Structure 1
Amino acid sequence: MRNGTRSARARAKGEAVKLSVVIPARNEALNIAALVREIDAALGAFAPFEIIVVDDGSTDGTGAAAKVLPHVRVLRHPVSAGQSAAVHSGVMAARAEIVCTLDGDGQNPPANLPALIAPLANPRVGLVAGQRVGRQDTWSKKQASRAANAIRGWMLKDGTRDTGCGLKAFRREAFLRLPYFNHMHRYLPALFARDGWVIAHVDVSHRARGAGASNYTNLQRALVGVVDLFGVAWLLRRRKKAEPESFDV
Protein backbone atom coordinates (compact mmCIF):
# COMPACT_ATOMS: atom_id res chain seq x y z
CA MET A 1 0.00 0.00 0.00
CA ARG A 2 1.34 3.43 -0.88
CA ASN A 3 2.21 5.56 2.15
CA GLY A 4 0.01 8.39 0.90
CA THR A 5 -2.98 6.06 0.54
CA ARG A 6 -2.39 4.75 4.04
CA SER A 7 -2.22 8.30 5.34
CA ALA A 8 -5.48 9.28 3.61
CA ARG A 9 -7.31 6.22 4.93
CA ALA A 10 -6.01 6.86 8.44
CA ARG A 11 -7.40 10.39 8.35
CA ALA A 12 -10.73 9.04 7.13
CA LYS A 13 -10.86 6.88 10.28
CA GLY A 14 -10.37 9.95 12.42
CA GLU A 15 -6.71 9.43 13.39
CA ALA A 16 -4.84 12.60 14.30
CA VAL A 17 -2.38 13.83 11.71
CA LYS A 18 1.14 13.45 13.09
CA LEU A 19 2.96 15.66 10.63
CA SER A 20 2.18 18.39 8.10
CA VAL A 21 4.42 18.96 5.08
CA VAL A 22 4.06 22.41 3.52
CA ILE A 23 5.34 23.01 -0.01
CA PRO A 24 5.39 26.62 -1.29
CA ALA A 25 5.25 26.39 -5.08
CA ARG A 26 5.16 28.86 -7.92
CA ASN A 27 5.22 27.57 -11.50
CA GLU A 28 6.33 24.07 -10.49
CA ALA A 29 3.76 22.02 -12.42
CA LEU A 30 6.48 19.80 -13.91
CA ASN A 31 8.08 19.06 -10.54
CA ILE A 32 5.23 18.66 -8.06
CA ALA A 33 4.09 15.09 -8.78
CA ALA A 34 7.56 13.57 -8.46
CA LEU A 35 8.19 15.57 -5.29
CA VAL A 36 4.99 14.29 -3.66
CA ARG A 37 5.87 10.68 -4.55
CA GLU A 38 9.25 11.10 -2.86
CA ILE A 39 7.64 12.59 0.25
CA ASP A 40 5.32 9.59 0.46
CA ALA A 41 8.28 7.23 0.24
CA ALA A 42 10.30 9.11 2.87
CA LEU A 43 7.59 9.49 5.52
CA GLY A 44 6.02 6.04 5.76
CA ALA A 45 6.93 5.81 9.45
CA PHE A 46 5.12 9.08 10.19
CA ALA A 47 1.68 8.20 8.81
CA PRO A 48 -0.86 9.62 9.00
CA PHE A 49 0.68 12.80 7.61
CA GLU A 50 -0.63 15.47 5.29
CA ILE A 51 0.88 17.32 2.35
CA ILE A 52 -0.18 20.91 1.70
CA VAL A 53 0.84 22.53 -1.59
CA VAL A 54 0.50 26.31 -1.57
CA ASP A 55 0.21 27.51 -5.17
CA ASP A 56 1.59 31.04 -4.98
CA GLY A 57 -0.03 32.65 -8.01
CA SER A 58 1.28 30.15 -10.56
CA THR A 59 0.53 30.66 -14.24
CA ASP A 60 1.54 27.17 -15.42
CA GLY A 61 -1.17 25.03 -13.79
CA THR A 62 0.75 24.07 -10.64
CA GLY A 63 -2.43 24.04 -8.57
CA ALA A 64 -4.26 21.84 -11.07
CA ALA A 65 -1.31 19.44 -11.24
CA ALA A 66 -1.28 19.15 -7.44
CA LYS A 67 -5.06 18.73 -7.09
CA VAL A 68 -5.11 15.47 -9.04
CA LEU A 69 -2.59 13.91 -6.65
CA PRO A 70 -4.17 11.71 -3.96
CA HIS A 71 -4.22 13.01 -0.35
CA VAL A 72 -2.70 16.41 -1.29
CA ARG A 73 -4.42 19.57 -0.03
CA VAL A 74 -4.02 22.60 -2.29
CA LEU A 75 -4.22 26.24 -1.24
CA ARG A 76 -3.97 28.99 -3.84
CA HIS A 77 -2.90 32.60 -3.74
CA PRO A 78 -4.60 34.29 -6.73
CA VAL A 79 -1.50 36.46 -7.18
CA SER A 80 2.03 35.71 -6.06
CA ALA A 81 2.69 36.91 -2.51
CA GLY A 82 6.14 35.37 -2.04
CA GLN A 83 7.61 32.35 -0.31
CA SER A 84 7.08 33.56 3.24
CA ALA A 85 3.40 34.22 2.58
CA ALA A 86 3.02 30.76 1.03
CA VAL A 87 4.70 29.08 4.00
CA HIS A 88 2.57 31.10 6.42
CA SER A 89 -0.66 30.16 4.63
CA GLY A 90 0.34 26.50 4.68
CA VAL A 91 1.22 26.52 8.37
CA MET A 92 -2.05 28.26 9.22
CA ALA A 93 -3.93 25.46 7.44
CA ALA A 94 -1.80 22.64 8.90
CA ARG A 95 -3.44 20.17 11.28
CA ALA A 96 -0.35 18.70 12.94
CA GLU A 97 1.77 20.09 15.76
CA ILE A 98 4.96 19.52 13.76
CA VAL A 99 5.42 21.11 10.33
CA CYS A 100 8.10 20.43 7.72
CA THR A 101 8.77 22.68 4.75
CA LEU A 102 10.65 22.12 1.51
CA ASP A 103 10.80 23.96 -1.79
CA GLY A 104 8.54 23.00 -4.66
CA ASP A 105 11.35 22.91 -7.24
CA GLY A 106 12.58 19.48 -6.12
CA GLN A 107 16.06 20.67 -5.13
CA ASN A 108 15.44 19.66 -1.49
CA PRO A 109 15.42 15.82 -1.41
CA PRO A 110 12.54 14.55 0.77
CA ALA A 111 14.75 11.69 1.97
CA ASN A 112 16.23 14.23 4.42
CA LEU A 113 12.90 14.83 6.19
CA PRO A 114 13.19 12.09 8.89
CA ALA A 115 16.56 13.49 10.01
CA LEU A 116 14.99 16.94 10.35
CA ILE A 117 12.11 15.66 12.44
CA ALA A 118 14.21 13.65 14.91
CA PRO A 119 15.66 16.56 16.99
CA LEU A 120 12.13 17.76 17.79
CA ALA A 121 11.84 14.84 20.24
CA ASN A 122 13.63 17.26 22.57
CA PRO A 123 10.86 19.59 23.85
CA ARG A 124 13.32 22.50 24.06
CA VAL A 125 13.99 22.40 20.31
CA GLY A 126 11.63 24.67 18.38
CA LEU A 127 13.24 24.67 14.94
CA VAL A 128 15.44 22.29 12.97
CA ALA A 129 17.16 24.06 10.09
CA GLY A 130 18.56 22.15 7.14
CA GLN A 131 21.98 23.28 5.91
CA ARG A 132 22.88 22.34 2.36
CA VAL A 133 25.99 20.33 1.61
CA GLY A 134 27.24 19.97 -1.97
CA ARG A 135 24.90 22.66 -3.23
CA GLN A 136 23.89 22.22 -6.88
CA ASP A 137 23.50 25.82 -8.01
CA THR A 138 25.36 28.21 -10.27
CA TRP A 139 28.65 29.70 -9.06
CA SER A 140 27.16 33.20 -8.88
CA LYS A 141 24.18 32.02 -6.85
CA LYS A 142 26.39 30.16 -4.38
CA GLN A 143 28.72 33.15 -3.99
CA ALA A 144 25.82 35.54 -3.43
CA SER A 145 24.34 33.18 -0.86
CA ARG A 146 27.67 32.77 0.92
CA ALA A 147 28.10 36.53 1.21
CA ALA A 148 24.53 37.08 2.41
CA ASN A 149 24.83 34.33 5.02
CA ALA A 150 28.10 35.77 6.31
CA ILE A 151 26.65 39.26 6.74
CA ARG A 152 23.47 37.91 8.33
CA GLY A 153 25.40 35.70 10.73
CA TRP A 154 27.63 38.58 11.76
CA MET A 155 24.69 40.88 12.48
CA LEU A 156 22.21 38.44 14.02
CA LYS A 157 24.53 35.87 15.64
CA ASP A 158 22.01 33.15 14.76
CA GLY A 159 24.60 30.37 14.47
CA THR A 160 23.24 29.19 11.12
CA ARG A 161 25.38 29.05 8.01
CA ASP A 162 22.54 28.55 5.49
CA THR A 163 19.16 30.09 6.30
CA GLY A 164 18.08 29.98 2.64
CA CYS A 165 17.60 26.20 2.72
CA GLY A 166 13.93 25.31 2.29
CA LEU A 167 14.20 22.13 4.38
CA LYS A 168 13.02 22.98 7.88
CA ALA A 169 10.97 21.38 10.66
CA PHE A 170 9.37 23.28 13.52
CA ARG A 171 6.57 23.47 16.06
CA ARG A 172 3.47 24.97 14.48
CA GLU A 173 2.31 27.02 17.46
CA ALA A 174 5.79 28.46 18.01
CA PHE A 175 5.96 29.51 14.34
CA LEU A 176 2.58 31.22 14.49
CA ARG A 177 3.71 33.29 17.48
CA LEU A 178 6.57 34.80 15.49
CA PRO A 179 6.24 38.30 14.02
CA TYR A 180 5.07 37.83 10.44
CA PHE A 181 6.61 39.83 7.58
CA ASN A 182 7.63 39.27 3.98
CA HIS A 183 10.84 37.20 3.60
CA MET A 184 10.65 36.04 7.24
CA HIS A 185 11.46 32.47 6.13
CA ARG A 186 15.12 33.48 5.78
CA TYR A 187 15.32 34.56 9.43
CA LEU A 188 13.59 31.71 11.23
CA PRO A 189 16.62 30.63 13.34
CA ALA A 190 17.04 34.16 14.76
CA LEU A 191 13.29 34.56 15.31
CA PHE A 192 12.86 31.21 17.07
CA ALA A 193 15.90 31.90 19.24
CA ARG A 194 14.43 35.29 20.08
CA ASP A 195 11.48 33.46 21.66
CA GLY A 196 13.75 31.22 23.72
CA TRP A 197 13.75 28.07 21.58
CA VAL A 198 16.79 25.88 20.97
CA ILE A 199 17.75 25.68 17.28
CA ALA A 200 19.07 22.41 15.86
CA HIS A 201 20.96 22.11 12.57
CA VAL A 202 21.08 19.15 10.21
CA ASP A 203 23.26 18.84 7.12
CA VAL A 204 21.09 17.97 4.11
CA SER A 205 21.74 17.11 0.49
CA HIS A 206 20.90 19.27 -2.51
CA ARG A 207 20.34 18.61 -6.17
CA ALA A 208 19.81 20.41 -9.44
CA ARG A 209 16.36 21.65 -10.39
CA GLY A 210 14.51 19.03 -12.44
CA ALA A 211 12.46 21.42 -14.61
CA GLY A 212 11.50 25.06 -14.86
CA ALA A 213 13.45 28.11 -13.75
CA SER A 214 14.16 29.91 -10.49
CA ASN A 215 11.68 32.59 -9.44
CA TYR A 216 14.38 34.82 -7.93
CA THR A 217 17.54 36.60 -9.04
CA ASN A 218 20.61 37.45 -6.98
CA LEU A 219 19.82 41.16 -7.27
CA GLN A 220 16.27 40.69 -6.00
CA ARG A 221 17.51 38.79 -2.95
CA ALA A 222 20.17 41.39 -2.20
CA LEU A 223 17.86 44.38 -2.39
CA VAL A 224 15.20 43.01 -0.07
CA GLY A 225 17.81 41.42 2.19
CA VAL A 226 19.35 44.72 3.26
CA VAL A 227 16.07 46.13 4.56
CA ASP A 228 14.99 42.84 6.15
CA LEU A 229 18.30 42.37 7.94
CA PHE A 230 18.10 45.67 9.76
CA GLY A 231 14.44 45.03 10.57
CA VAL A 232 15.18 41.66 12.13
CA ALA A 233 18.11 43.10 14.08
CA TRP A 234 15.67 45.67 15.51
CA LEU A 235 13.21 42.91 16.44
CA LEU A 236 15.92 41.01 18.29
CA ARG A 237 16.90 44.08 20.30
CA ARG A 238 13.27 44.83 21.14
CA ARG A 239 12.33 41.33 22.33
CA LYS A 240 10.57 40.90 25.63
CA LYS A 241 12.98 40.20 28.47
CA ALA A 242 10.63 37.95 30.46
CA GLU A 243 7.38 36.04 30.19
CA PRO A 244 4.69 36.46 32.87
CA GLU A 245 4.38 33.57 35.31
CA SER A 246 1.13 31.62 35.26
CA PHE A 247 -1.02 31.36 38.35
CA ASP A 248 -4.33 29.91 39.46
CA VAL A 249 -7.26 32.21 40.11
Structure 2
Amino acid sequence: MKTDYLMTIIVPVYNEAENLDRVKEAFNAYFAQSPFQSKVLFVDDGSKDGSLSKIEEICANNAHFEYITFDRNYGLSTAIKAGIDQVNTPLTGYIDADLQTTPLDFDLLLNELGTNTMAVGYRAKRKDTLSKRIQSKIANFIRRSLINDGIIDTGCPLKVVRTEEAKRIPFFDGMHRFLPALILLQQGTVKQINVRHFPRIAGKSKFNIFNRSIKPLQDAFAYRWMRKRYINYRIEKVCLV
Protein backbone atom coordinates (compact mmCIF):
# COMPACT_ATOMS: atom_id res chain seq x y z
CA MET A 1 0.00 0.00 0.00
CA LYS A 2 1.39 3.40 -0.98
CA THR A 3 2.07 5.82 1.85
CA ASP A 4 2.02 9.57 1.23
CA TYR A 5 5.13 10.59 3.09
CA LEU A 6 5.67 14.18 4.19
CA MET A 7 9.38 13.86 4.88
CA THR A 8 12.40 11.77 3.91
CA ILE A 9 15.09 11.75 6.61
CA ILE A 10 18.63 11.39 5.27
CA VAL A 11 20.95 9.38 7.53
CA PRO A 12 24.54 9.35 6.24
CA VAL A 13 26.43 6.25 7.41
CA TYR A 14 30.17 5.71 7.51
CA ASN A 15 31.31 2.80 9.69
CA GLU A 16 28.39 2.95 12.14
CA ALA A 17 27.51 -0.76 12.31
CA GLU A 18 27.47 -0.66 16.12
CA ASN A 19 24.79 2.05 16.08
CA LEU A 20 22.41 0.85 13.38
CA ASP A 21 20.21 -1.40 15.51
CA ARG A 22 19.67 1.58 17.82
CA VAL A 23 18.94 3.78 14.80
CA LYS A 24 16.26 1.34 13.62
CA GLU A 25 14.68 1.16 17.08
CA ALA A 26 14.77 4.94 17.54
CA PHE A 27 13.08 5.56 14.20
CA ASN A 28 10.46 2.87 14.71
CA ALA A 29 9.60 4.53 18.02
CA TYR A 30 9.41 7.90 16.25
CA PHE A 31 7.22 6.59 13.43
CA ALA A 32 4.84 5.00 15.94
CA GLN A 33 4.12 8.27 17.80
CA SER A 34 4.55 11.01 15.19
CA PRO A 35 1.55 12.54 13.40
CA PHE A 36 3.84 13.20 10.43
CA GLN A 37 4.42 10.40 7.90
CA SER A 38 8.16 10.04 7.37
CA LYS A 39 10.70 7.57 6.03
CA VAL A 40 14.46 7.08 6.32
CA LEU A 41 16.99 7.14 3.51
CA PHE A 42 20.33 5.68 4.56
CA VAL A 43 23.30 6.85 2.49
CA ASP A 44 26.15 4.38 2.99
CA ASP A 45 29.34 6.35 2.37
CA GLY A 46 31.62 3.44 1.52
CA SER A 47 31.56 1.82 4.98
CA LYS A 48 34.02 -1.01 5.61
CA ASP A 49 32.72 -2.34 8.94
CA GLY A 50 29.60 -4.23 7.87
CA SER A 51 27.29 -1.21 8.01
CA LEU A 52 25.92 -1.94 4.53
CA SER A 53 24.87 -5.48 5.47
CA LYS A 54 23.08 -4.11 8.51
CA ILE A 55 21.37 -1.43 6.40
CA GLU A 56 20.24 -4.02 3.86
CA GLU A 57 18.78 -6.13 6.68
CA ILE A 58 16.89 -3.17 8.12
CA CYS A 59 15.51 -2.07 4.75
CA ALA A 60 14.46 -5.58 3.73
CA ASN A 61 12.12 -5.85 6.69
CA ASN A 62 10.61 -2.35 6.88
CA ALA A 63 9.02 -0.30 4.11
CA HIS A 64 9.83 2.94 5.96
CA PHE A 65 13.57 2.45 5.37
CA GLU A 66 15.43 2.89 2.06
CA TYR A 67 19.10 3.12 1.16
CA ILE A 68 21.66 4.02 -1.46
CA THR A 69 25.33 3.06 -1.28
CA PHE A 70 28.52 4.51 -2.74
CA ASP A 71 31.34 2.61 -4.41
CA ARG A 72 33.81 4.27 -1.99
CA ASN A 73 34.00 6.88 0.75
CA TYR A 74 33.22 10.38 -0.58
CA GLY A 75 32.56 12.37 2.59
CA LEU A 76 29.60 13.86 4.41
CA SER A 77 28.78 16.67 1.99
CA THR A 78 28.57 14.26 -0.93
CA ALA A 79 26.42 11.86 1.09
CA ILE A 80 23.97 14.64 1.94
CA LYS A 81 23.82 15.84 -1.67
CA ALA A 82 23.25 12.33 -2.98
CA GLY A 83 20.46 11.87 -0.46
CA ILE A 84 18.78 15.14 -1.42
CA ASP A 85 19.02 14.15 -5.10
CA GLN A 86 16.93 11.04 -4.31
CA VAL A 87 14.26 12.68 -2.13
CA ASN A 88 10.74 12.86 -3.62
CA THR A 89 8.81 14.12 -0.57
CA PRO A 90 7.88 17.75 0.24
CA LEU A 91 10.31 17.91 3.17
CA THR A 92 13.85 16.63 3.70
CA GLY A 93 15.21 15.84 7.15
CA TYR A 94 18.75 15.17 8.27
CA ILE A 95 20.20 13.42 11.32
CA ASP A 96 23.49 11.70 12.12
CA ALA A 97 23.69 7.94 12.67
CA ASP A 98 25.45 8.38 16.02
CA LEU A 99 22.09 9.26 17.67
CA GLN A 100 23.52 12.13 19.69
CA THR A 101 20.25 13.77 18.72
CA THR A 102 16.92 11.93 18.72
CA PRO A 103 14.43 11.45 15.88
CA LEU A 104 11.69 12.31 18.38
CA ASP A 105 12.78 15.95 18.16
CA PHE A 106 11.94 16.10 14.46
CA ASP A 107 8.39 16.86 15.57
CA LEU A 108 9.68 19.97 17.40
CA LEU A 109 11.17 21.18 14.12
CA LEU A 110 8.11 20.26 12.05
CA ASN A 111 5.75 22.00 14.46
CA GLU A 112 7.87 25.17 14.31
CA LEU A 113 8.65 25.13 10.58
CA GLY A 114 5.59 27.21 9.68
CA THR A 115 6.25 29.23 6.56
CA ASN A 116 10.02 29.06 7.00
CA THR A 117 12.28 27.37 4.49
CA MET A 118 14.26 25.44 7.09
CA ALA A 119 14.08 24.50 10.76
CA VAL A 120 17.31 23.57 12.55
CA GLY A 121 18.15 22.40 16.02
CA TYR A 122 20.69 23.88 18.36
CA ARG A 123 22.24 22.02 21.28
CA ALA A 124 21.95 24.28 24.32
CA LYS A 125 23.20 21.51 26.65
CA ARG A 126 25.85 19.54 24.81
CA LYS A 127 26.95 16.12 26.06
CA ASP A 128 30.24 15.87 24.17
CA THR A 129 33.72 15.37 25.56
CA LEU A 130 35.63 18.49 26.59
CA SER A 131 37.97 18.28 23.59
CA LYS A 132 35.07 17.98 21.17
CA ARG A 133 33.28 20.95 22.74
CA ILE A 134 36.45 23.04 22.46
CA GLN A 135 36.91 22.06 18.81
CA SER A 136 33.28 22.95 18.06
CA LYS A 137 33.60 26.31 19.82
CA ILE A 138 36.65 27.11 17.69
CA ALA A 139 34.83 26.10 14.50
CA ASN A 140 31.71 28.10 15.40
CA PHE A 141 33.82 31.15 16.30
CA ILE A 142 35.58 30.98 12.93
CA ARG A 143 32.30 30.67 11.06
CA ARG A 144 30.58 33.49 12.95
CA SER A 145 33.59 35.77 12.50
CA LEU A 146 33.76 35.22 8.77
CA ILE A 147 30.14 34.89 7.65
CA ASN A 148 27.98 36.19 10.55
CA ASP A 149 24.84 34.31 9.51
CA GLY A 150 23.16 34.36 12.94
CA ILE A 151 23.04 30.56 13.22
CA ILE A 152 23.65 29.46 16.81
CA ASP A 153 24.82 25.89 16.17
CA THR A 154 25.45 25.16 12.50
CA GLY A 155 26.89 21.72 13.34
CA CYS A 156 23.73 20.42 15.04
CA PRO A 157 22.81 17.24 13.14
CA LEU A 158 19.06 17.77 13.20
CA LYS A 159 17.52 19.73 10.35
CA VAL A 160 14.35 19.94 8.23
CA VAL A 161 14.24 21.81 4.92
CA ARG A 162 11.73 22.18 2.12
CA THR A 163 12.91 19.77 -0.56
CA GLU A 164 12.37 22.16 -3.45
CA GLU A 165 14.78 24.60 -1.82
CA ALA A 166 17.21 21.87 -0.74
CA LYS A 167 17.63 20.78 -4.35
CA ARG A 168 18.66 24.36 -5.26
CA ILE A 169 21.50 24.51 -2.73
CA PRO A 170 24.88 25.13 -4.43
CA PHE A 171 26.89 22.13 -3.31
CA PHE A 172 30.62 21.94 -2.67
CA ASP A 173 32.82 19.77 -0.47
CA GLY A 174 32.33 21.02 3.07
CA MET A 175 28.90 22.53 2.43
CA HIS A 176 27.37 20.42 5.22
CA ARG A 177 28.80 23.02 7.62
CA PHE A 178 26.82 25.80 5.92
CA LEU A 179 23.37 24.39 5.12
CA PRO A 180 21.41 27.12 6.97
CA ALA A 181 23.72 29.82 5.56
CA LEU A 182 23.18 28.47 2.05
CA ILE A 183 19.40 28.59 2.55
CA LEU A 184 19.73 32.22 3.70
CA LEU A 185 21.82 32.90 0.60
CA GLN A 186 18.79 31.80 -1.46
CA GLN A 187 16.70 34.36 0.45
CA GLY A 188 15.07 31.62 2.48
CA THR A 189 14.30 31.81 6.21
CA VAL A 190 15.59 29.61 9.02
CA LYS A 191 13.90 28.83 12.36
CA GLN A 192 16.15 27.66 15.24
CA ILE A 193 14.83 25.34 17.96
CA ASN A 194 16.51 24.01 21.10
CA VAL A 195 16.83 20.20 20.90
CA ARG A 196 18.16 17.49 23.17
CA HIS A 197 21.70 16.18 22.92
CA PHE A 198 23.15 12.87 24.14
CA PRO A 199 26.62 11.34 24.55
CA ARG A 200 27.87 9.01 21.82
CA ILE A 201 27.63 5.49 23.25
CA ALA A 202 28.80 3.40 20.27
CA GLY A 203 31.11 3.79 17.29
CA LYS A 204 33.78 6.44 16.85
CA SER A 205 33.56 10.11 15.94
CA LYS A 206 34.84 10.95 12.45
CA PHE A 207 35.89 14.46 13.48
CA ASN A 208 39.20 15.78 14.74
CA ILE A 209 40.98 19.11 15.22
CA PHE A 210 41.73 19.32 11.47
CA ASN A 211 38.21 18.85 10.16
CA ARG A 212 36.69 20.90 12.99
CA SER A 213 38.97 23.94 12.65
CA ILE A 214 41.27 24.04 9.60
CA LYS A 215 38.69 22.73 7.12
CA PRO A 216 35.89 25.02 8.39
CA LEU A 217 38.27 27.97 8.00
CA GLN A 218 38.93 27.05 4.35
CA ASP A 219 35.24 26.44 3.70
CA ALA A 220 34.21 29.72 5.33
CA PHE A 221 36.41 31.61 2.87
CA ALA A 222 34.87 29.58 0.02
CA TYR A 223 31.39 30.52 1.24
CA ARG A 224 32.33 34.22 1.51
CA TRP A 225 33.60 34.14 -2.09
CA MET A 226 30.39 32.49 -3.31
CA ARG A 227 28.14 34.84 -1.30
CA LYS A 228 29.58 37.86 -3.10
CA ARG A 229 28.93 36.29 -6.49
CA TYR A 230 25.71 34.36 -5.90
CA ILE A 231 22.90 35.08 -8.38
CA ASN A 232 19.42 35.79 -7.02
CA TYR A 233 16.55 37.11 -9.12
CA ARG A 234 12.76 37.30 -9.22
CA ILE A 235 10.81 37.16 -12.47
CA GLU A 236 7.99 39.72 -12.53
CA LYS A 237 6.32 38.82 -15.83
CA VAL A 238 6.67 36.03 -18.37
CA CYS A 239 5.67 35.97 -22.02
CA LEU A 240 7.07 32.89 -23.71
CA VAL A 241 6.11 31.38 -27.04
Offset at 1:246? 4.0
For 1:24, the equivalent position in structure 2 comes to: 12
Taking structure 1 as the reference length, what is the TM-score of the superposition? 0.89
For 1:54, the equivalent position in structure 2 comes to: 43
Number of residue pairs matched?
235
Alignment of 1:91 onto 2:51: no
Offset at 1:47? 5.1
Instruction: Give the counterpart of 1:109 among 97, 102, 110.
Output: 102
Q: Say which SS state the counterpart of residue 68 (structure 1) adopts.
A: helix
Q: Which runs of 4+ in 1 moved over 6 A?
A: none
Q: Say which SS state the counterpart of residue 208 (structure 1) adopts.
A: coil
Instruction: Give the counterpart of 1:75 among 68, 79, 86.
Output: 68
- Structure 2: unaligned runs, 5 residues or longer: none
- Structure 1: unaligned runs, 5 residues or longer: 1-12
Asked if 1 retains the 8 angstrom alpha-carbon contact of 2:19 and 2:98, the reply is yes
Asked if 1 retains the 8 angstrom alpha-carbon contact of 2:123 and 2:197, the reply is yes
For 1:40, the equivalent position in structure 2 comes to: 28
Residue type of the partner of 1:57?
G
Asked if 1 retains the 8 angstrom alpha-carbon contact of 2:138 and 2:213, the reply is no
For 2:163, the equivalent position in structure 1 comes to: 172
Alignment of 1:65 onto 2:54: yes
Taking structure 2 as the reference length, what is the TM-score of the superposition? 0.92
After superposition, the C-alpha distances for 1:38-68 in whole angstroms (9 at most, x for unaligned) are: 1222244345422111111111111111111
User: Per the alignment, do residues 241 and 67 of structure 1 end up closer, same or farther by CA in structure 2, a change over 3 Å counting?
Assistant: closer
Offset at 1:190? 1.2
Offset at 1:112? 0.9
Matches within 5 A, 1:73-222: 73-122=66-115, 125-222=116-213
Asked if 2 retains the 8 angstrom alpha-carbon contact of 1:19 and 1:46, the reply is no
Q: Say which SS state the counterpart of residue 96 (structure 1) adopts.
A: coil
Residue type of the partner of 1:30?
E
Asked if 2 retains the 8 angstrom alpha-carbon contact of 1:54 and 1:74, the reply is yes
CA distance in 1, matches of 2:102, 2:71: 28
Alignment of 1:238 onto 2:233: no
| Larger mean Cα displacement after TM superposition, 41-50 or 200-209 | 41-50
Offset at 1:154? 2.3
The sequence identity of aligned pairs, in percent, is: 29
Asked if 2 retains the 8 angstrom alpha-carbon contact of 1:18 and 1:47, the reply is yes
Offset at 1:16? 2.3
Offset at 1:119? 2.6
Asked if 1 retains the 8 angstrom alpha-carbon contact of 2:136 and 2:212, the reply is no
Offset at 1:147? 1.9
Residue type of the partner of 1:50?
K
